[in-house]
Amino acid sequence: PSGYALGSARVSVDAAEATARPSGMVRVELAVDVLEDDWVLVPVLPPTTPVESAAIDGRAVQLVATPSGLAWITRSAGSFRMSLAYRVDATPSGAGCSLPVPLPQAASINLDAKLPGHRLLADR
């Protein structure tokens, strides 16, 4: 059995159109349950995700780089709210760009994206 459980995540992406290189700011709110009072490594994001800030219940924390990705290490059982912020660069794709967004391994994800441009959705 695992020493942690990841609940739901709320992910917001705000993409800015820039002349040099489009990018997006990603903010994540993630529910984390630590199930035991022992050292637990909680995987959070894929490797090489450029995290600008990480906090647990409003308090800044450091993430640990592991071969499988970035993780939070703790030894206190309880329910926590993790906040993450990171920026991703857009990749040219055809006539536009694609924005690859690394996501946490949450049980469910609610995604809200603000994308620049017009006519992004088909007319109904």
**Structure confidence by residue, pLDDT tens digits, 72-91:** 999 999 999 999 999 998 88
Mean pLDDT for 96-123 is 78
> CA dihedral in degrees (70, 75, 76, 80; nearest 10)?
0
pLDDT of residue 26 exceeding 80, the answer is yes
pTM metric for this prediction = 0.86
d(CA 44, CA 14): 20
Mean pLDDT for 28-47 is 96
Q: Which of 92, 85, 99 is nearest to 44 (CA)?
A: 85
Determine which helix (DSSP H) or strand (DSSP E) holds 115, and give its type and residue range.
none
pLDDT of residue 52 exceeding 90, the answer is yes
pLDDT of residue 121 exceeding 60, the answer is no
pLDDT of residue 108 exceeding 90, the answer is yes
d(CA 84, CA 71): 12
Average pLDDT of the chain is 88
